[in-house]
Amino acid sequence: MESRKYARFQVELECSFSGDHTAGDGQVVDLSMGGCKVRSDATVPTGAYLELRVYLPQQDSPLKIDLAVARWSIGRECGLEFIRLQPEQQERLHQLVQSFEVAPSR
């Protein structure tokens, strides 16, 4: 069994994404420091490079992932690996993931 590099957390966060061949809105349903799973009506082909915005509760600006790649895509879901984030966005992601680690189970 493959072990994951980062802990994953089930979430429900609105998002938008755009790339050379696709754009859309959706929902991040699984999040880690290294990537996420997105559910969307837009088709995201495997291998597509995207810019991703994740809208966080009680925050004015979205979490911005400058570059992510779709590692898999099945139906309405795709798995994105984060490739490039600005340092301040990396810190925001880290704080968000830490908040899930200490939060009681839903």
The residue with tokens 């809105």 is 25
- Grouping H, G, I as helix, E, B as strand and the rest as coil, residue 22 is coil
Domains annotated on the chain, with CATH: 9-99 (2.40.10.220)
| pTM, two decimal places | 0.90
Whether 90 and 66 have beta carbons less than 8 Å apart is answered as no
Reported as a single tens digit per residue, the pLDDT across 34-79 is 999 999 999 999 999 999 999 998 899 999 999 999 999 999 999 9
User: How many separate helices (H) and strands (E) can be counted in the chain?
Assistant: 1, 6
Q: What is the DSSP letter of 76?
A: T
- Grouping H, G, I as helix, E, B as strand and the rest as coil, residue 8 is coil
Neighbours of 7 (CB within 10 A): 12
